[in-house]
Copies of this chain bind each other. A is one copy, B any other.
Amino acid sequence: MAKQDRAIRTQRTILVAAASVFEERGFQAATITDILTAAGVTKGALYFHFQSKEDLAYGVMEAQGRHMGTVPPRSCKTQEVVDTVLLQTYRLQKDPMVRAGVRLAMDQHATELDRGTSFQEWGKGMAALLEQAKEQGELLPHVVPADTAELVVGAYAGVQSMSQAVSSYADLDHRTSVLLRHIMPNVVLSSVLTTIDLTPERGATIYAEVQALQDAAELADARA
């Protein structure tokens, strides 16, 4: 294994460990020592990649943020917005890194973190998709893409938090579906709405699609 590959792998190991410690203990109570123990790496290796606990938290949030943007482009941009939400719902139920990133962004006591940035990054991605949807004539004339984008991100954040609190995400599919069915008819033309798939089961399919694309990209990299 090349030196660079090993560094990337170590970084990933540390981030996964940090994610599980932040998820379990919260940002405030988590310590670098907890993360070292969970990752099974040396202090030197950790500080080579991350300078502080804040730095580790940003790493987790960024890794989670990257996941958000990986739905492949759709010709219908509204479907792409919906798919981003459905993928997130699927990942929250399956991926501890995504759960930890979302919890850090929602942690009102992680005052050392600039949590606003994490919200705003999601919002920007959504706004860009909705701008394209507007250009393509998919949206109702009154829609302000930036407002709708921030609403979707904020409302989704609350809905997932409520689902985590009342059912440990067991009802997240239903709550996601209720959210989309309440918001989308006020955003999209009826003619577009009839073509959009809002069913939560779609999440697993999108996840498989994204995984296959990532695997293909890694294989191409390895061959190059």
Contact = CB atoms under 8 A, between A and B. Distances in A.
Interface of A: 25-26, 28-29, 103, 105-109, 115-116, 119-120, 147-148, 150-151, 153-167, 175, 178-179, 181-183, 185-187
15 contacts: A26-B28, A29-B29, A105-B165, A150-B178, A151-B159, A151-B178, A151-B179, A154-B161, A154-B163, A154-B175, A156-B158, A157-B162, A158-B159, A161-B161, A182-B187
Contacts of A147: 178
Contacts of A108: 26, 103, 106-107, 161, 164-165
Main secondary structure of the interface of A (DSSP, over half): helix
B166 A158 contact: no
A103 B165 CA distance: 13
A119 B157 contact: no
B109 A26 contact: yes
B151 A182 contact: yes
Contacts of A164: 108
Contacts of A150: 162, 175, 178
Contacts of A115: 165
A157 B166 CA distance: 14
A125 to B, nearest CB: 15
Contacts of A109: 25-26, 28-29, 103, 107, 109
Nearest to A115: B165
B161 A157 contact: yes
A214 to B, nearest CB: 28
A9 to B, nearest CB: 29
